[in-house]
Amino acid sequence: MTNELWHERAAALKIDGRAFIDGQRKWALSDKQFDNISPIDGRNLGAVARCETADVDLAVASARAAFDDARWAGQAPAARKRVLIRFADLVLKHGAELALLETLDMGKPIKYSQSVDVNSTANCLRWYGEAIDKIYDEIAPTASDSLALITREPVGVVAAIVPWNYPMIMAAWKIAPALAAGNSVILKPSEKSPLTALRLAEIAIEAGIPAGVFNVVPGFGHEAGAALALHMDVDCIGFTGSTKIGKQILQMAGQSNLKRAWTELGGKSANIVCADCPDLDEAVEAAIGSIYFNQGESCNAPSRLFVEASIKDKFLEKALAMMPSFQPADPLDENTVMGAIVDATQLKSVMGYIDAGNAEGAKLLSGGKQVKLDTGGYYVEPTLFDGVSSDMKIAREEIFGPVLSVISFTDIDEAIRLANDTPFGLQAAIWTADLSRAIKTARALRAGTVHVNQYDGDDITVPFGGYKQSGNGRDKSLHAFDKYTELKTTWIRI
């Protein structure tokens, strides 16, 4: 599609910000709304329902009724599979509209909204749809006069609370396995990016998911989000977001009905490049491409780059040559690779970290400034600090913006110690031609995913989640079913 056409479509777009409860669009019972501001140019996209406890009660009641009468859970796995595959097909059919909503809502480049966000969402729905009729229950090896069946059952009513950085994909990682397993779901998208979640609920109905099975309650975290986390009739909560709020979710789950609570939280991932790295160009491209992708607003962004001292100058020379290609530009232009920061608050936070880096004595080699496009909106230059030490704020805290901190090391034990010196443990990488060093380092790194000589390994078939304060669960892969199912043992005398 041409850039003009994307702009025309964006100008003509009419958003529907009403909640989706029991198969119907609804404003909040209080009639409260909030404005949805696009980060790409600051325009008001329209009003969105500000759901609170009463709306959450309604959504939970509708999800509970749908679960209790088994209109979805009671269908054969092969039937749920057909619906989820249709859901995936319809996401692709409505792909251009969903991509436009995603870009206007959170600022990412339209080319990635289409190629990454829409495609990954459809792929996730299809994969869990395909999987669900291939999972068998078990029989335990018990005494010959009895039979013990171990079966999986849906947990019941699942709440999913997701962040704004990959609004559709984060939603799909939760709703696809939860729905495939037969649960009813209430999704609370981020107040910063609620639009695609609301469209997904309509598309789900079009695909054949019965009313009440998939509900969406837009609103603020401390209102709609907390109401879900505290609700006595929600059986399970899947949360993706910051470590700070993740801790609160676990507390709320504990102080209410002890609902199963799964958290996928922040990161400060370490990327270790040794002097014997097999292909320095590839290592530079991966380091730079991965930190600036999605404006650095990725939980697994490799924001701490550890480079062996003897190759640091060469590495940085190549890295700096790549920086101009990541200059932010109009997200609706199909050539743009770096879009807008999600909102004014996040922009201020990122600029605050850049100021802290400068104040603490890190060496700013590139970027560091806000970019003002003619259209307005919130943009930051891709930023690279050298001479960072592990105790600086930019090396310790998750910035969630396009800021890379370079730290040099002289031996691998030092690199491992520094890489693990963080409260987070989401991802890490090691680049070396020495197989034994690669494996020993991968074992020593305290992270849910470790890459060797790459940073882009990603597939729905593998678990995604963190050690330490990066969370307590895993999204993706067949392991995600563990989150949304109960194991039941049935003893039978024979």
Nearest residue (CB) to ligand NAD, 109 versus 448: 448
Provide the pairing of β-strand 44-49 with 33-37. antiparallel
Q: Which residues contact 249 (CB under 8 A, 6 or more apart)?
A: 161, 229, 237, 239, 261, 263
Least distance from ligand NAD to the Cβ atom of residue 208, Å: 27
The torsion region of residue 212 among left (phi > 0), alpha (psi -120 to 50) and beta comes to left
The correct pick among 98, 124, 209, 229 for binding ligand NAD (CB under 6 A) is 229
CA separation for the pair 432, 265 (Å, rounded): 29
CA separation for the pair 298, 396 (Å, rounded): 16
- Stretch (H or E) spanning 130: helix 119-132
Nearest residue (CB) to ligand NAD, 117 versus 330: 117
Nearest residue (CB) to ligand NAD, 163 versus 367: 163
CA separation for the pair 487, 77 (Å, rounded): 17
The correct pick among 72, 87, 400, 455 for binding ligand NAD (CB under 6 A) is 400
Rule CB under 6 A: say whether 240 interacts with ligand NAD.
Answer: yes
Catalytic-residue membership of 51: no
Site string for ligand NAD, 441-470 (x = CB under 6 A): -----------------------x-x---x
Backbone angles phi, psi at 140, to 5 degrees: -80, 150
Catalytic-residue membership of 264: yes
Percent of the chain that is helix, strand, coil (3-state, to 5): 45, 20, 35
Nearest residue (CB) to ligand NAD, 197 versus 416: 197
- Stretch (H or E) spanning 203: helix 195-207
- Using the rule CB under 6 A, give the single segment among 79-87, 157-165, 206-214, 357-365 that binds ligand NAD: 157-165
Strand partners, 146: 493
Rule CB under 6 A: say whether 48 interacts with ligand NAD.
Answer: no
Nearest residue (CB) to ligand NAD, 95 versus 221: 221
The correct pick among 36, 190, 405, 408 for binding ligand NAD (CB under 6 A) is 190
Rule CB under 6 A: say whether 245 interacts with ligand NAD.
Answer: yes
CA separation for the pair 378, 263 (Å, rounded): 29
Site string for ligand NAD, 263-282 (x = CB under 6 A): -xxxx---------------
Active site residues: 264, 299
Binding site for ligand NAD (CB under 6 A): 161-165, 170, 188, 190-191, 220-222, 225-226, 229, 240-242, 245, 248, 264-267, 299, 398, 400, 426, 464, 466, 470-471
